[in-house]
Chains A and B, each alone.
Chain A
Amino acid sequence: MLKGHRTWVFESKPVLLASSAIGGPFEAQGPLADDFDILHKDTWLGQDSFEKAEKKLLEQACEIAIEKAGLKKEDIQFFLSGDLMNQIISSSFTARTLGSAFLGIYGACSSSMEGLALAALIVNSKSAKYALAGTSSHNAAAEKQYRYPTEYGGQKPPTAQWTVTGAGAALLGQEGEGPRITSATIGRVVDMGLSDPFNMGGAMAPAAVDTIEAHFRDLGIDPSYYDIIATGDLGRVGHRIATDLLTDHGLKIPPEIFTDCGILIYGKDQPVMAGASGCACSATVTYGHFINRMKKGEIKRILIVATGALLSPLSYQQKESIPCIAHAVSIEM
C-alpha cells in the first residue's frame, strides 16, 4: 500500500526467511568477519577471471540463503538481482544457474535494497510464495571496469572508497519465522553536479538525505522508532556530510543509531581511505551483521538506506556529473 509520496507499507509483512553474506580475503580481516557465511582466501575463487569470480560469489550467496531456509532452488519463484558489471552479467549468469524467473535490476550500489524492496512487494501482493533478492560486487572487477587496472600504481585521494568483494542474498516468504520487511521508500535521482568518481560519498549523501527525509515524512514517524539507521556506502566523507545535512534540515537522528555500512565493514587499520563501497557493501553488512544482531535480540528495528552512484566510465569521461539514488527498506523483528 502506498503511503505518502513514495513509501510502500507491506501489510502482510513478508518474512526474511534466510539471508547470506559471502566475502573475500580483505573482508576477512575486517571487524565483521564473524558475520559472513563464507570468507574466501583467494580473490579469484579458483576462476580464471575476476568477472567469473564475482558470479561465483553471487551463486554461493543464493545457494546458502536457499539452503538455510530449508528450500530447494526449484522453490524460488522470482529472483531479483543487480550488480555493477556491464549488462549486469553476474546477476544474469547466476539466474541462469538458478533457473527461476528472473528480473534483472540496476541501481548501482543501491541494487541491494532495490531488489529487497521489489521482492517484498511481490511477496506482499501474493504474486509469489518465495522471492530471492541478491547482489554482488568484486573489488578487482569493479576497478577494472570503472577505474584503472588493479596493479596500476596510481595514487588515490583520501575521499576514495574500496569496493567490497562479496555477495549477499535474502530469501523472502509469505510466512515463517524471522525478521519482517515492513516498508520501503523508493528514492529519486539526485544530482548535485559533483563529477569526481573518487568522491562518491560526497556525491551520494544528498540522495541518502532525500530518501531518509521522505521515509519519515511519508510514514509520519520519528527516527527514534529505529534502533539502527544505516546508509549503504557513504563512507566517512559522505556520512559526515549526510549527518550535517540532516541536522541542518531539522531531522535529528541520534549519532549512536545513525551509521554507515561502508564504515562498519573495514577496520581503521585497513587502507581503504574513506571506507567501503559496492553493491555487496550494504548487502553483506545487512544480511550478515545486522540480521545476526536482530536474531540475537540486540536490535529490533532497522532502516537500511542503500545508496548508489549511477555513473558509467563513459559518462564520467564525457564530463557528465554523477546522478545518485538511495532506496530505504525497513526490517523489523
Chain B
Amino acid sequence: MSSKKKKKLTPTQQKYQEYAKKRDPKRPVLSNCIRAFVVGGTICTIGQGLQMIFIKYFNFTEDTAGDPTVAVLIMISVLLTGLGVYDHIGQWAGAGTAIPVTGFANTVASAAIEHRSEGYVLGVGGNMFKLSGSVIAYGVFSAFIVAIVKIAIQWLGGM
C-alpha cells in the first residue's frame, strides 16, 4: 500500500490491516506466471500455425496473413465465451488468456451476452464496450501521440 494512502488511516485501522494481511492467503504468483506463460505461449503458437496455413494454402503474404489469423482467434474466443468455457480457462490461466487478442474478444463478447436482457440498443449496444472501452480509448490515444512524435522527428530530419 502506498504511504500516502496509509496516512489517512487511523492507527487502529493500520494495525488491523497488518493483522489481516498476515492471515490472507497469498496469491500463487509463481504458478500464475508459469500458467500464463504456457497458455499465452500456446495461443501465440496456434496463431503462428494459423498464419503459416494462410500463407501456404490461401495465397496470403507474411504482411496480409495477420488479419485472417486474428479473425480466427477472435472467433474461437467468442465461441468459447458463448459456450461458457472461457471464464474457466481464464481463472486457471490468468494473464495467459487475458493479454492476447482472445482476452480482448472475451471482454466484448461477455459484456454483450450479459446485457442481452436489457435489449439490443440499451443493453448489448450500450454495454458491449464496458470493459474494452478504455483499452480502445487509450489505445487510440497513445497511437495518436506516438504518431505525432514520429512525424515531429521526421520533420526535424531525424529519420
Contact = CB atoms under 8 A, between A and B. Distances in A.
Interface of A: 48-51, 144, 148-159, 191-194, 199, 202, 205-206, 236-237, 240-241, 244-245, 271, 274
18 contacts: A48-B117, A150-B114, A151-B81, A151-B84, A151-B87, A152-B107, A152-B111, A153-B81, A153-B86, A158-B25, A193-B10, A193-B14, A199-B24, A202-B20, A202-B23, A237-B24, A241-B23, A271-B91
- Judged by DSSP, the binding face of A is loop
B13 interface: yes
Interface in B57-111: 81-82, 84, 86-87, 89-91, 93-95, 97-98, 103, 106-107, 109-111
Interface in B27-61: 27-28, 32
B113 interface: yes
B110 A149 contact: yes
A237 B23 contact: yes
B9 interface: yes
Interface string B1-27: 000000011101110110110011111
A237 B25 contact: yes
A157 B117 contact: no
A199 B17 CA distance: 12
Nearest to B84: A151
A240 B24 CA distance: 9
B131 interface: yes
Contacts of B114: 144, 149-151
Given A149-B111, A153-B97, A193-B9, A159 B16 contact: no
Contacts of B95: 155
B90 A154 contact: yes
A193 B25 contact: no
How big is the B interface, by class? 35 or more
Contact of B131 (A152, A157, A191, A236): A152
Contact of A156 (B24, B25, B26, B91): B91
A141 B53 CA distance: 42
A159 B97 contact: no
B24 A159 contact: yes
B110 A155 contact: no
A155 B86 contact: no
B89 A50 contact: no
Most buried by A among B93, B97, B114: B114
Nearest to A191: B13
Contacts of B14: 193
A152 B106 contact: yes
A223 B91 CA distance: 40
A155 B113 contact: no
B150 to A, nearest CB: 34
The 9 closest A-B pairs by CB, nearest first: A153-B90, A49-B117, A149-B114, A151-B110, A193-B13, A149-B110, A155-B94, A152-B110, A158-B25
A151 B106 contact: yes
B117 A154 contact: no
A275 to B, nearest CB: 11
A152 B19 contact: no
Nearest to A274: B25
Which of A49, A153, A157, A191 lies at the interface centre, i.e. has the most chain B CB atoms within 10 A of its CB?
A: A153
B132 to A, nearest CB: 10
Contact of B24 (A144, A149, A202): A202
A191 B8 CA distance: 13
A155 B23 CA distance: 21
A273 to B, nearest CB: 9
Nearest to A236: B25
Contact of A153 (B23, B25, B91, B115): B91
A148 B24 contact: no
A241 B32 contact: no
Contact of B17 (A152, A159, A194, A245): A194
A241 B87 contact: no
A262 to B, nearest CB: 15
Contact of A241 (B19, B98, B107): B19
A153 B111 contact: no
A151 B86 contact: yes
Contacts of A50: 117
A192 B17 contact: yes
Nearest to A195: B5
